[in-house]
Amino acid sequence: QEGGVISLSLPENAGLPPLAVNQNYHWYFSLICDEFDRGTDIFTDGWVRRVESDTLPNLEDLPTPPLPEQANDYAQAGIWFEALEILAEDQRMKGATIAGPEGQALLEQVGLADFTDVFFLE
């Protein structure tokens, strides 16, 4: 089976407070490959920051652009999670790779060129 990118959401009933605006959060994720040999775990981490909605691109007053263009608008505003989510939706609709030709430059901008040929997994 081939690898790909997945989306994870925290359960709404987990009792976690919403992220505070303009606060940085450090997240961690590990995949336990062998419960008896934790040295084989795959581990990654990153940062996320919630921003005010008024910093988001105002796309409501404009004709709906193609999804890759919407993703680019969010990326230009520094809203990378939404940009990637839109690219994933575009990929799902087309049955194509994560970026396709339209999104490759977007991913290369942030050092994610290695992900232009992978798929979002359901």
Place of tokens 């404009």: 62
User: What is d(CA 89, CA 77) in angstroms, rounded to the nearest whole number?
Assistant: 19
**Average pLDDT of the residues of the chain:** 79
Closest CA to 76 of 90, 104, 55: 55
> Are the C-beta atoms of 87 and 71 separated by less than 8 Å?
yes
Could you state, in order of their start, the residue ranges of all structural domains in the chain? 12-115
Q: Check residue 76 and give its pLDDT.
A: 80
Name the H helices within the chain. Answer: 67-76, 80-94, 100-109
User: Which residues are paired to 45 by β-bridges?
Assistant: 28
User: What is d(CA 30, CA 43) in angstroms, rounded to the nearest whole number?
Assistant: 4
Low-confidence ranges of the chain (pLDDT < 50): none
Q: Check residue 66 and give its pLDDT.
A: 78
